[in-house]
Structure 1
Amino acid sequence: MANAREFNFDGLVGPSHNYAGLSFGNVASYNNVKSVSNPKEAALQGLAKMRALASRGFAQGVLPPQVRPNFRMLRSIGFTGSDAEVLSCAYKEAPVILASAYSASPMWTANAATVSPSADTADGRTHFTVANLNNKLHRSYEHTQTARTLKAVFFDERHFAVHDALPATPAFGDEGAANHTRLCASHGAPGVEMFVYGRVEFDPDRPSPRRFPARQTLEASQAVARLHGLSERRTVYIQQDPDTIDQGVFHNDVIAVGNADVLFYHQHAFHHERTALEPLRQALAGVDTELRAIRVNAAEVSVADAVTSYLFNSQLLSKPDGRMALVIPQECQENAAVSRYLQQLTLSGGPVDELISFDLRQSMRNGGGPACLRLRVVLTDAEVAAMHQGVLMTEDLYGALVSWVGKHYRDRLAPADLADPAFAAEVQTALEELSGLLGFPDLYAF
């Protein structure tokens, strides 16, 4: 068993962070449509979280934003002329599409890819499959740059395999690590990979939500497992509760989170909960590990309270003493039921004995909490040495990024600002400077 650590790679919030309400099924995003956003505050909140966790000894990296606006997408659907003319026409004729072209949603890197560490894969490399995110227009164009970025960070093919996105069809709807959980005795030991799906494309008789879309298919999860060379004995597929999806639980990470041998989940997270978890228990027994389940009853915390507070969209982190810290948004402490539950949780003598709270209001208003902002990657010492070092969080990098944000980001962005050619130029200038700062001179294809 190799020595390994879990790194959290947080997405850096982009300069075009705005509230367009593009994500039907994501209640927070939809409820704040057309509000005025504060990109500068959003980026600084995210950076503060990264710095605080890195200072506590948790391994931390950063992933850069994507090119915005997406002129390639706008031109591909018929907007022509100069950049200024494209923006003007799109704003007049299709403002929602213009907002899609400006979307800063790649900051939620839990959706960027699914990751399997080298301890789990047949060829002993860490595997990434970039998510196609084809359920939403504004996200469906992300995979090209995501693949480019991941291949730049994890460039050494002796240690890493970065797979392009699955076919962009509903049958293979894939939303990345937001629907994937790895459980294990320790990060460097072989683990069990749990894929959670919302529907089955080729079995219409299987239950599915009626109000909101199920974004992850069983077929996509199975394809990712094949690409990564996972053992059938240590791979488990579990269906989300369709009724819970219809209450705004658009990804599994809105209703469950796992770490090491602990699964923290809501009573209504899974379809047929009791039988659903039995294969997981059996698979873990095969790696000499017993599941420690923390089940939150609906009588203690309703699904509505879980969605409002993003209790489960938290980070569950292993501490050196063997206990765990739960990284929560401050909304959890503002919700009476959730706050009461968390106080009992930390005093219960169970694995979670500490809460770390962050102000992520800008992200939360757009539908993403602490877990959305990060991609979990377990790496051995050799793999860390083989990756691009410029994205690892240090005090120097934190200071440089804060200065960069202060120089380039607006503190107020309204929907009408998206039509301004000057703003588009601002964003491009910022990203050109960032690519150099992170040591990626060829990261972007403007």
Structure 2
Amino acid sequence: MVQFEANFDGLVGPTHNYAGLSYGNVASQSNAQDASNPKEAAKQGLKKMKALSELGLVQGVLAPQERPDIDTLKRLGFTGTDAQILDKAFREDPVLLAACCSASSMWTANAATVSPSADTQDGRIHFTPANLTNKFHRSIEHEVTGRILSQVFADERHFKHHAALPTNEYFGDEGAANHTRLCGDYSQAGVELFVYGRSAFDLKAPAPKRYPARQTLEASRAIARLHGLGDNTAIFIQQNPEVIDQGVFHNDVIAVGNQNVLFYHQQAFLHTEQALAEIRAKLPGTELHFIEVPTTEVPLQDAVKSYLFNTQIVTLKPGHMAIIAPTECRDTPSVNAYLNKLTGLNSPIREVHFMDVKQSMRNGGGPACLRLRVAMTELEHAATNQACLMNDALFARLNQWVDQHYRDRLTLSDLRDPALLQESRTALDELTRILQLGSVYPFQR
């Protein structure tokens, strides 16, 4: 049975802005208050999707959230017309308004955790939207995320959708940003690595001191149970608390895997050798490549600044992989030198492709943040909503859509503009027709 990995990237929404909402994300906080360019951001994301499609990969598109989120503002006590609600929120609590205008759903690595059918007990692909409880601006996403995923992957014979975990700190779940999968071949059962920052119930266990650990062990275990993963399929690894305190807010900022390759920084995990031994034991007979990047060659801060590990590793043909990296990797001397060396090592990684996603990078998300990985068979691919799969026609149509509806400059004070709300709703209403999603947004229901 032919099986491959598809990437579904988040389309940047019309309210893309730099509000600096993500405490613990150095890039997000560093660029707070700057003017953003939603049109450029969306086009950069589309170019990345098109480039991966042209490399021969299956590439999909996931729609953004409705923003500004008027329904949430109403739940928080703001009343009147939509325009009055926006004005009151801006005057009384501009930070809250910015949170309700966040376009962070572009980072679909946080949209959900996905387990392919080769790993699950019922032979279906399982999806659980992330509750993202650690950040208010993201905790209001999961309901609409679930609706969108249910429209993209609608056939119940092939796909199983779960509700998000309970929305409290004990089950904080950040989705695929803390999850990766290793296997010999996509068609074979693999092991799913759940990387957590802390144990919510064991207060004596190691945990970061400066920045919050957003993924709990309890959440990771719950996802594994929901997805029907056996003891030989799920592995739980703790992220090094010290690197969380240095700005490594998700595992995908410090490690990335693909098939039989795990690419990680020397400081990524709390008990590295123990984790690697467990992977070897659960994938007997698979030739594994553990590529550890030494601190002496790439200091941790260079890895975070360049997002070396927030790159994508993709398989172009059997035994031949490529890294999809932001241009910041090329522009950081230690990282560029390491990548030049990496392609010459005895590993499947043979190429590096640099992508300009600066609008996303300045807000704290690189190429890997922008995509949700879905390993699937040809039958599952055929059952996927074909209107959401990238091709020349969709690329041209979405670029035209962005040109028609997006602004090329957005400041935080613009978020109170009722015209922005109307522009966003008009754009999203048209987008749901383009992608054949039906009525997924509150204003449509």
SS at match of 1:232: coil
- Aligned-pair CA distance for 1:349: 3.5
The CA distance in 2 between the partners of 1:435 and 1:233, in whole Å, is 40
Q: Is the 8 A contact 1:234 1:284 kept in 2?
A: no
2:434 is aligned to 437
- Aligned-pair CA distance for 1:277: 2.1
1:89 is aligned to 88
SS at match of 2:314: strand
Question: Does 2:321 correspond to 1:324?
Answer: yes
Q: Is the 8 A contact 2:55 2:316 kept in 1?
A: no
Question: Does 2:409 correspond to 1:415?
Answer: no
**Mapping 1:32-51, distance limit 5 Å:** 32-51=31-50
Between stretches 316-325 and 171-180, larger displacement belongs to: 316-325
2:369 is aligned to 372
Question: Which amino acid is the alignment partner of residue 57 of structure 1?
Answer: G
The CA distance in 2 between the partners of 1:195 and 1:48, in whole Å, is 30
The CA distance in 2 between the partners of 1:379 and 1:62, in whole Å, is 16
1:355 is aligned to 352
Q: Is the 8 A contact 1:235 1:283 kept in 2?
A: no
- CA RMSD in angstroms comes to 0.8
SS at match of 2:317: coil
1:251 is aligned to 250
2:340 is aligned to 343
Tell me how many residue pairs correspond in the alignment.
443
The CA distance in 2 between the partners of 1:183 and 1:27, in whole Å, is 29
- Aligned-pair CA distance for 1:444: 2.0
SS at match of 1:263: strand
- Aligned-pair CA distance for 1:69: 0.7
The CA distance in 1 between the partners of 2:135 and 2:176, in whole Å, is 17
The CA distance in 1 between the partners of 2:437 and 2:220, in whole Å, is 31
1:149 is aligned to 148
The CA distance in 2 between the partners of 1:233 and 1:395, in whole Å, is 41
- Aligned-pair CA distance for 1:93: 0.9
* Sequence identity percentage: 58
SS at match of 1:208: coil
- Aligned-pair CA distance for 1:281: 1.7
The CA distance in 1 between the partners of 2:347 and 2:154, in whole Å, is 40
2:161 is aligned to 162
Between stretches 143-152 and 314-323, larger displacement belongs to: 314-323
SS at match of 2:390: coil
Which string of whole-angstrom CA distances, capped at 9 and with x for unpartnered residues, describes residues 319-344 of structure 1? 11521100000000100110111111
Q: Is the 8 A contact 2:289 2:347 kept in 1?
A: no
Question: Does 2:179 correspond to 1:180?
Answer: yes
Which string of whole-angstrom CA distances, capped at 9 and with x for unpartnered residues, describes residues 124-182 of structure 1? 00001110000000000100000000111111111100101000011100000000010
Question: Which amino acid is the alignment partner of residue 423 of structure 1?
Answer: L
Q: Is the 8 A contact 2:148 2:437 kept in 1?
A: no
- Aligned-pair CA distance for 1:351: 1.6
SS at match of 2:324: strand
Q: Is the 8 A contact 1:177 1:375 kept in 2?
A: yes
2:201 is aligned to 202
Q: Is the 8 A contact 1:255 1:313 kept in 2?
A: yes
- Aligned-pair CA distance for 1:235: 1.1
1:300 is aligned to 297
The CA distance in 2 between the partners of 1:71 and 1:127, in whole Å, is 31
1:276 is aligned to 275
Q: Is the 8 A contact 1:114 1:128 kept in 2?
A: yes
2:227 is aligned to 228
Which string of whole-angstrom CA distances, capped at 9 and with x for unpartnered residues, describes residues 342-369 of structure 1? 1111122422110010000000000000
The CA distance in 2 between the partners of 1:30 and 1:277, in whole Å, is 34
SS at match of 1:368: coil
SS at match of 1:326: strand
Which string of whole-angstrom CA distances, capped at 9 and with x for unpartnered residues, describes residues 275-296 of structure 1? 23221221112xx313210000
Question: Which amino acid is the alignment partner of residue 280 of structure 1?
Answer: I
2:379 is aligned to 382
**Mapping 1:74-85, distance limit 5 Å:** 74-85=73-84
1:55 is aligned to 54
SS at match of 1:356: strand
The CA distance in 2 between the partners of 1:440 and 1:59, in whole Å, is 19
The CA distance in 2 between the partners of 1:160 and 1:234, in whole Å, is 19
The CA distance in 2 between the partners of 1:70 and 1:403, in whole Å, is 25
The CA distance in 2 between the partners of 1:55 and 1:361, in whole Å, is 21
Question: Which amino acid is the alignment partner of residue 236 of structure 2?
Answer: Y
Which string of whole-angstrom CA distances, capped at 9 and with x for unpartnered residues, describes residues 20-70 of structure 1? 000000000011111000000000000000001101101100001111111
SS at match of 1:233: coil
The CA distance in 1 between the partners of 2:347 and 2:226, in whole Å, is 36
1:109 is aligned to 108
- Aligned-pair CA distance for 1:96: 0.6
The CA distance in 2 between the partners of 1:131 and 1:321, in whole Å, is 32
**Mapping 1:3-14, distance limit 5 Å:** 3-14=2-13
